[in-house]
């Protein structure tokens, strides 16, 4: 458990201390600055949205609640929303037709489950982005360490994924 806590703290510190990449809207990667598609954030799966603001982006997911597989809780069902502030980093690879980029950030989420139960979350985000500017879509894989607050605090590390079309 201490190893997971240390990894989570280090990722969160990196997200806070990372210098945003100096780039054009969307990191100079995707034409247009607003994406919509499907994805999952912390504790929620559904409609995924992303809006660029220079070298940062706001990402959100709104939809149904999903669980982490806790054996002592039935965490499935319900509704939730997850919001992240992302700092776009310089692209790792820029080769036609693919841009491989990454971002760091942090965010929060709320979700209902069971009968009238509400959980709150704080999390870090480290994402690997496969961007196809000519289409224009992105496919994103993320690692999300965080803390869930419900009847105590529970540390977790989970993943996320998105596929979005940009307008």
pLDDT tens series, the chain, 167 aa? 444 444 544 444 444 444 343 333 444 566 567 999 999 988 899 999 999 988 899 999 999 886 555 444 445 678 899 999 999 998 999 888 899 999 999 999 999 877 778 889 999 999 999 999 888 899 999 999 999 988 888 898 988 999 999 98
pTM over the 0.85 mark: no
What pLDDT, on the 0 to 100 scale, is given for residue 17?
A: 43
What pLDDT, on the 0 to 100 scale, is given for residue 23?
A: 35
- Dist CA 153 CA 147 (whole Å): 6
What pLDDT, on the 0 to 100 scale, is given for residue 67?
A: 58
- Dist CA 127 CA 159 (whole Å): 9
């Amino acid at each position: 458990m201490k190893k997971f806590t240390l990894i989570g703290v280090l990722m969160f510190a990196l997200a806070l201390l990372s210098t945003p990449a100096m780039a054009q809207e969307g990191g100079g990667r995707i034409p247009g600055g607003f994406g919509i598609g499907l994805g999952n954030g912390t504790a929620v799966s559904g409609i995924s949205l992303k809006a660029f603001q220079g070298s940062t982006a706001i990402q959100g997911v709104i939809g149904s609640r999903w669980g982490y597989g806790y054996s002592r809780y039935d965490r499935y069902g319900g509704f939730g929303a997850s919001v992240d502030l992302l700092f776009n980093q310089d692209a790792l690879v820029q080769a036609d037709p693919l841009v491989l980029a990454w971002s760091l950030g942090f965010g929060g989420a709320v979700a209902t489950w069971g009968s009238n139960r509400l959980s709150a979350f704080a999390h870090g985000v480290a994402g690997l982005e496969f961007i196809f500017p000519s289409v224009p879509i992105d496919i994103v894989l993320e690692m999300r360490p965080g803390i869930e607050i419900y009847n105590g605090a529970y540390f977790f590390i989970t993943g996320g994924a998105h596929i979005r079309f940009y307008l």
